[in-house]
Structure 1
Amino acid sequence: MRSVELFAGAGGLALGGEAAGFHPEVVVEWDRWACDTVRQNKAAGYPLVGPWRVHEGDVRNVDWSEVTDVDVVTGGPPCQPFSMGGKARAADDKRDMFPAAIDVIRRLQPKAFILENVRGLTRTAFANYFSYIQLQLAHPELVSREGESWLDHYHRLQAEHTTASADGLHYKVVPTLVNAADYGVPQQRHRVFIVGFRSDLDAEWSFPAESHSFDALLYDQWVTGAYWERHKVAKRNREPLSPRLVNRVAALRDVLDPAELGEPWQTVRDAISDLPTPTLNGSRKFKNHVLQPGARSYPGHTGSPIDLPSKALKAGGHGVPGGENMLRRPDGSIRYFTVRESARLQTFPDDYELHGAWGEAMRQLGNAVPVLLAQKVGQSVAQHLQHADMRARAAKKQKRASA
């Protein structure tokens, strides 16, 4: 399926989409370092990015007249206008690129789109603006008039949305807040996905069901103990069960069919246990696996426990507020994740190299979509587009036969 990737960053969403069967006609990203990451992997012969045509620059400056017959538009507009750690200015933030993404969808008229953003977009303070974004995506041809405020445009979109008219370009829009850990990613990363299907398609789509759970991990660790046996972790080297989880684990002992819990959440240990202990000299076998010194722990800055999914990686280095970019062992000792370990937590392939020094590579990874999550969403969208196409062909065939 032909696609376009907007705000590509280091390529997490695009890599997942490629694995799902999307083939980008153009990959757009303004940040030079992120573009260098993709270009470096192209030069190294990494197969998924080989055909990508990278456009380094502003999405708004791309000549879209040369791009035709696009099935899917994907992208993650910059999250700073909605980030918990940002100024939360939404529509008043010049970095808000949702209008640019909507303009591309209006121009290309894809069969479907997949957009993602931070959980902060769902905050109560942004309720109207989040609704406004969805209505713009549902009616991309109803553009804002010159001098019209976003609130006035919002009211006009509401009126259009509640009319019976079906003229023009419309999309059925489905927003969903997910935790990447529930889909097999070894990281608790909450993201908003906004998926839309063109209204002339009979897609019958819903967001993929969760496949992993915290309860399944607790069962694996504290009921059967299979987790510790699998990793050969002696009792003295395990962090004790939190008192707040004692009753929850006790209830899990009565579970008759553990399969109903799904697969266990993947932990940091699951993700990185086969990597060698990092050193300042790096690793010959694993790219980007170099020890970054200087990590320290203090209240509120404690790192990610090794036997849970990591905290959400942040787009920063030493100053990340919750220590999200650090590993915490059961004995309380900490160190920074290497870039390769962080890439594992974001489910990037081992042979995909991040360009730049540790802080720059961590910034790219902190902004990325987990590849596995993107792949699962992309596969679901691709499957439903194929089924919609099959139903459309069958309907045409039946119509011809009855004529």
Structure 2
Amino acid sequence: MRSVELFVGAGGLGLGVSQAGFQPAAVMDWDKWACDTIRENQKLGIDLVSEWPLHEVDVREFNFEDITGDVDLVTGGPPCQPFSLGGRHKAHLDSRDMFPQAIRAVRNLKPRAFVFENVKGLTRTTFANYLEYIRLQLRHPEMVEKKDEPWLDHLARLEDYETRGRYRGLEYRVALRVLNSANYGVPQKRERVFIVGFRSDTAIEWHFPEASHSQEALLWDKWRSGEYWDVQRVRKKDRPVDEKQMQRASRLEARPSQAAWQTVREAISDLPDPEKEPRKSAGIRDHKFQAGARTYPGHTGSPLDEPAKTLKAGVHGVPGGENMLRRPDGSVRYFTVRESARLQTFPDDMIFHGSWSETMRQLGNAVPVKLGRVVAESVRDKLAVIKPRRAKGT
């Protein structure tokens, strides 16, 4: 099956889609640093990205008609600054909003399905009308806005068309949900909104993948069975005390059937501490100690025995209190690039181009590879049982 990846960045979603078995017909991003990351990994022959047809281009200038043949899936994470908690919240007024280009790609390529993701902030009440506007445009991508038409007027026309119930041309069935990465085996509590659509002529019934991991299972393994501490070889005297977690665990009647949330310790325990063991760390690519970590209210780092807090890109480099590890003794340090890549479930052989702050920006903007793969696999499994057909009008 063939895919097109928009706004690839460091490749989190794109890698997940490739791991799910899709073959990219085009992969694109305008950011030089992100494209250099992909190119360096291609030179190294890193699996999956080595054959990516990469385009360093502003998607607004890309001609989708240059892509020949049928496309099964369009994916991407349109730049999220207009909706991010760390951004300026201008949404449709923000020139960085690339959802119009994602919709243009769907309109031109007519894929059998699409998967777009963005920050959870897109679902805030402030953006409710605009989120519905995005959904309806993806439902009816050929119903384009008129010249100089205000977006609210275009929304009203889309609503009229939607409620009329008699559609012509290209149409998609669209589902939307916020997914917590930790619930799918990612060692990070990272929430992203996914928008998934199937072309209406496929007649596919689909729902988001069920969670495979749970916090309750981790609570049980820590505070009821003690299995977590035993497997991690943490002595009783070194185990942190968390009264709230212990109380929650005591109320569980049985261990949940899901796997336990994955923790920071599980993700990085085989890596030497770059602050305490600099010589051992020196031989590991992208695993260098970065000084300057400090805590302040609301920014206290990620506990070692929990999934990490959401890694952030920051507006001007890495925020002072973010992207830190908090040890059981309360001391903190920044995660290295390699550790951050682990928390985002990137392959260990993948390297990242640029300074520490630049690479952390790429990682902070990425979709966890494992989460991208889980969603892409669920879409692939549905598409695999439906014989491809050309969309109407092609």
Task: Give the TM-score taking structure 1 as reference length.
Answer: 0.93
Equivalent residues in 2 for 1:220-369, closer than 5 Å: 220-241=221-242, 243-252=243-252, 254-255=253-254, 258-260=255-257, 262-278=258-274, 283=281, 286-316=284-314, 320-321=318-319, 323-369=321-367
Query: Is the 1:317–1:359 contact (alpha carbons within 8 Å) kept by the matching residues of 2?
Result: no
1:47 aligns to 2:47 (yes or no):
yes
Match of 1:209 in 2: 210
Query: Is the 2:317–2:357 contact (alpha carbons within 8 Å) kept by the matching residues of 1?
Result: no
Q: What RMSD over aligned residues (CA atoms) do the two structures have, in Å? A: 1.6
CA distance in structure 2 between the aligned counterparts of 1:92 and 1:259, rounded to whole angstroms: 45
1:32 aligns to 2:28 (yes or no):
no
Equivalent residues in 2 for 1:8-27, closer than 5 Å: 8-27=8-27
Structure 2 SS opposite 1:219: helix
Shift of 1:26: 1.0
Call closer, same or farther: CA 1:62–1:281 in 2, change over 3 Å. Answer: farther
CA distance in structure 2 between the aligned counterparts of 1:113 and 1:319, rounded to whole angstroms: 31
CA distance in structure 1 between the aligned counterparts of 2:279 and 2:119, rounded to whole angstroms: 35
Shift of 1:323: 2.5
Unaligned runs of 5+ in 2: 390-394
Call closer, same or farther: CA 1:281–1:178 in 2, change over 3 Å. Answer: same
Call closer, same or farther: CA 1:282–1:369 in 2, change over 3 Å. Answer: farther
Shift of 1:310: 0.3
Query: Is the 1:46–1:351 contact (alpha carbons within 8 Å) kept by the matching residues of 2?
Result: yes
Match of 2:104 in 1: 103
Query: Is the 1:237–1:331 contact (alpha carbons within 8 Å) kept by the matching residues of 2?
Result: no
Per-residue CA distance 1:91-137 (angstroms, 9 max, x = gap): 00110000011001100000000000000000001011000000000
Shift of 1:375: 0.3
Q: What one-letter code is carried by the residue in structure 2 that aligns with 1:102? A: I
Shift of 1:3: 0.6
CA distance in structure 2 between the aligned counterparts of 1:322 and 1:359, rounded to whole angstroms: 11
Query: Is the 1:317–1:362 contact (alpha carbons within 8 Å) kept by the matching residues of 2?
Result: no
Shift of 1:246: 3.6
Query: Is the 1:13–1:368 contact (alpha carbons within 8 Å) kept by the matching residues of 2?
Result: yes
Q: What one-letter code is carried by the residue in structure 2 that aligns with 1:383? A: D
Match of 1:397 in 2: none
Per-residue CA distance 1:173-197 (angstroms, 9 max, x = gap): 0001110000000000000000000
CA distance in structure 1 between the aligned counterparts of 2:235 and 2:320, rounded to whole angstroms: 29
Structure 2 SS opposite 1:352: coil
CA distance in structure 2 between the aligned counterparts of 1:152 and 1:282, rounded to whole angstroms: 61
Q: What one-letter code is carried by the residue in structure 2 that aligns with 1:46? A: I
Per-residue CA distance 1:354-394 (angstroms, 9 max, x = gap): 1112111100000000000000000000000112229x9xx
Per-residue CA distance 1:130-187 (angstroms, 9 max, x = gap): 0000000000000000011000000100111112323100000000111000000000
Shift of 1:298: 2.6
Match of 2:392 in 1: none
CA distance in structure 1 between the aligned counterparts of 2:289 and 2:282, rounded to whole angstroms: 13
Match of 1:115 in 2: 116
CA distance in structure 2 between the aligned counterparts of 1:38 and 1:271, rounded to whole angstroms: 23
- Residue 381 (structure 1) aligned to one of 379, 382, 385: 379
CA distance in structure 1 between the aligned counterparts of 2:316 and 2:123, rounded to whole angstroms: 28
Query: Is the 2:272–2:280 contact (alpha carbons within 8 Å) kept by the matching residues of 1?
Result: no
Query: Is the 2:219–2:246 contact (alpha carbons within 8 Å) kept by the matching residues of 1?
Result: no
Query: Is the 1:302–1:322 contact (alpha carbons within 8 Å) kept by the matching residues of 2?
Result: no
Shift of 1:320: 4.7
Q: What one-letter code is carried by the residue in structure 1 that aligns with 2:142? A: E
Structure 2 SS opposite 1:388: coil
CA distance in structure 2 between the aligned counterparts of 1:265 and 1:207, rounded to whole angstroms: 19
Structure 2 SS opposite 1:387: coil
Shift of 1:322: 7.4
Task: Give the TM-score taking structure 2 as reference length.
Answer: 0.95
Call closer, same or farther: CA 1:319–1:16 in 2, change over 3 Å. Answer: closer
Query: Is the 2:86–2:314 contact (alpha carbons within 8 Å) kept by the matching residues of 1?
Result: no
Unaligned runs of 5+ in 1: 393-403
CA distance in structure 2 between the aligned counterparts of 1:259 and 1:215, rounded to whole angstroms: 7
CA distance in structure 2 between the aligned counterparts of 1:317 and 1:67, rounded to whole angstroms: 34
Shift of 1:319: 6.6
Match of 1:62 in 2: 62
Call closer, same or farther: CA 1:284–1:196 in 2, change over 3 Å. Answer: same
Query: Is the 1:82–1:121 contact (alpha carbons within 8 Å) kept by the matching residues of 2?
Result: yes
Identity %: 58
Q: What one-letter code is carried by the residue in structure 2 that aligns with 1:137? A: L
Shift of 1:317: 9.2
Structure 2 SS opposite 1:375: helix
Per-residue CA distance 1:182-218 (angstroms, 9 max, x = gap): 0000000000000000000022110000011110000
Q: What one-letter code is carried by the residue in structure 2 that aligns with 1:386? A: A
CA distance in structure 2 between the aligned counterparts of 1:351 and 1:209, rounded to whole angstroms: 29
Query: Is the 1:203–1:384 contact (alpha carbons within 8 Å) kept by the matching residues of 2?
Result: yes
Query: Is the 2:293–2:334 contact (alpha carbons within 8 Å) kept by the matching residues of 1?
Result: yes
Call closer, same or farther: CA 1:49–1:369 in 2, change over 3 Å. Answer: same
Structure 1 SS opposite 2:251: helix
